[in-house]
Amino acid sequence: HKGTCGISAGMLSNKTADIGGFCCPPGRTDRLPGLKFHTLGIVALAIIVHPDNPVEDITLKQARQIFMGEIYRWSELGRSQGRELPNLPIQPVGRLHCKLRSGHWRGLLDNEDLFSPGIVEVGAIPDMISQVAENENAIGFETISMIRHLRDKGRVKILKISGNDPANESDLISGKYPLYRVYNITTWEGGGVENPYAANLVKHLLNEMKTVDSQFGMVPAFRLRKSGWLFKNGTGWKFRDNELIGEPH
């Protein structure tokens, strides 16, 4: 949990890895000659709060304002489920990993400098879960899969964004739920670097994604490809070979 895509990138750059794993779309410096990216799938990035927090649903604009420090108190959000929200300061928690790559938290705020100076920054996923679970006024973000996997670190509440649920695959596939992470693996192509065993393993993994259990919260790439009927005029998920390169618009 403490690693980042930079570890994979470094080993690939040094030619010491046959397969690399990334939790983000590749950055410019990740695209090495002969390196191919293959998308396993996407997982929703959920906005999370303490389970006793009365908030159930916020807009993407409100989420951005909270993490920027422009919305400072819960009461500034108005009412939730007919209840007045407490006039207490919000404590944003962030894990700003893989700063050189797009996706993940950059779907919320595109630059780390946009985050509030008052943010509590954590370096590991379990710390994100425990920080939010222990503070009634905290708000953070983490993938659905890791929230489920790390239940022992504490209970958190998952918020909807404008009525769209990150735990609902349909909301994610349709593009209505806006925040997610992309999971990629890599292979080498070309003389002197290609490993046929690695290529066969990646091919096997991509095929196995068709039967991945929904409890992991991952929408496999093949399901994104098959969702084209939801969108008009080719505005759906875009792929180059096996790599996801664009979202619905």
Q: Does domain 44-173 have CATH number 3.40.190.10?
A: yes
Write down the domain spans for the chain: 5-40+184-246, 44-173
20-30: b (≥16 Cβ within 10 Å) or e = bebbbbbbeeb
C-alpha 41/C-alpha 50 separation (Å) is: 28
Cα distances (Å, whole numbers) of residue 3 to 9, 25, 35, 70, 235 = 11, 16, 21, 31, 34
Cα distances (Å, whole numbers) of residue 178 to 5, 88, 161, 227 = 22, 28, 8, 16
Q: Which residue has the tokens 């695959």?
A: 169
Per-residue pLDDT of the chain (249 residues; tens, 9 = 90+): 345 688 888 999 998 999 999 988 898 889 999 999 999 999 999 999 999 999 999 999 999 999 999 999 999 998 777 788 999 999 999 998 877 777 778 899 999 999 999 999 998 999 999 999 999 999 999 999 999 999 988 999 999 999 999 999 999 999 999 999 999 999 999 888 889 999 999 999 999 999 988 888 899 999 999 998 778 777 899 999 999 999 988
pLDDT digits (tens, 9 = 90+) for 82-121: 788 999 999 999 998 877 777 778 899 999 999 999 999 9
Both tokens of residue 205?
């993994």
Q: Which residue has the tokens 């503070």?
A: 135
| 138, 129 Cβ separation under 8 angstroms | no
